Amino acid sequence: MVWLIAAAWSVAAVLPAAADRATQAHTLEVGGLTRSYLLHVPPALPAGGAPLVLVFHGGGGNGPGTERLPRFSELADREGLLVAYPEGIGRNWYDGREFTSGSRAHRERIDDVGFVAAMLDAIARAHAVDPRRIYATGISNGAVFSHYLAAHLSPRIAAIAPVVGGIADPPDAWLKPEQPVSVLILQGTTDPLVPYQGGAIAFGRGRIIDTEDAARRWARLNGAAPGRTTAGGSA
């Protein structure tokens, strides 16, 4: 499944997709806040439970824009997946970074993990979801949040594929998943905004750790044997 997620991002289109009646808006009350998400339901779902992919927008993004860009809904129709496009408070996710400028999600440490857990419950009540095949991906702020979500909700997240967004620094207090989570990291080595080698993100938006250190940490947490890390390409 993670290779399908990577493929969807790699063929991202800039033209808006046509309106799709299979994608519907939903709201939840979580922690005193009204939270919202889009859910795309394909024409046919597999018997015994469908995979569910969570796609998190970047800082300043939203659900409709995220659905249009990498075309996950089209992938879902071909592969028989459910796809959710959640909305962050103020168009941001609290992802473990400690900075207070500009983002309500970070200033108030919005419980986005709690929102996702409630959303998963709501989707499972309405559709047959395979609990062993729930995946998360996102870009930028959504990618950093994918790491954070997997660390806090590992019993429910099978795999993540964060795109141009690393592990928030410092991670030692919270990067403690209860169960292994498969991880595919897509990060540009010459990205001028989100540094591959870790450090400060552009515009004072907190810090991330080194990308190869992130891969080694997940490998260790997952009980995987040390392996070779290959760097290449750019964002």
- Residue 17 in domain: no
Name the nearest CA neighbour of 174 among 193, 152, 142: 152
Q: Is the dihedral of CA 157, 6, 183, 164 positive or negative?
A: negative
* pTM given for the model: 0.89
C-alpha 47: how far from chain center: 26
The pLDDT score that the predictor gives to residue 102 is 75
DSSP code at position 186: B
- 27 and 115 Cβ atoms separated by less than 8 Å: no
Q: What is the DSSP string of 62-124?
A: -HHHHHHTT-HHHHHHHHT-EEEEE--BTTB---S----SS-HHHHTT--HHHHHHHHHHHHH
Mean pLDDT of each 10-residue bin along the chain, 235 residues long: 52 41 93 97 93 97 90 94 97 92 90 98 97 97 98 98 97 97 96 96 95 96 74 46
Name the nearest CA neighbour of 89 among 125, 123, 114, 121: 114
- Residue 18 in domain: no
- As to burial, measured by CB atoms within 10 angstroms (0-12 exposed, 13-18 middle, 19+ buried), residue 99 is middle
Compute the radius of gyration of the chain from its Cα atoms.
17
The pLDDT score that the predictor gives to residue 118 is 98
Report how many domains make up the chain. Answer: 1
- 52 and 81 Cβ atoms separated by less than 8 Å: yes
| 200 beta partners | 207
The pLDDT score that the predictor gives to residue 206 is 95
CATH assignment of the domain containing 118? 3.40.50.1820
The pLDDT score that the predictor gives to residue 231 is 57
Domain that residue 46 falls in: 2-12+26-221
The four Cα atoms 128, 131, 132, 136 give a dihedral, to 10 degrees, of 100
The pLDDT score that the predictor gives to residue 228 is 56
The pLDDT score that the predictor gives to residue 21 is 60
Amino acid at 57: H
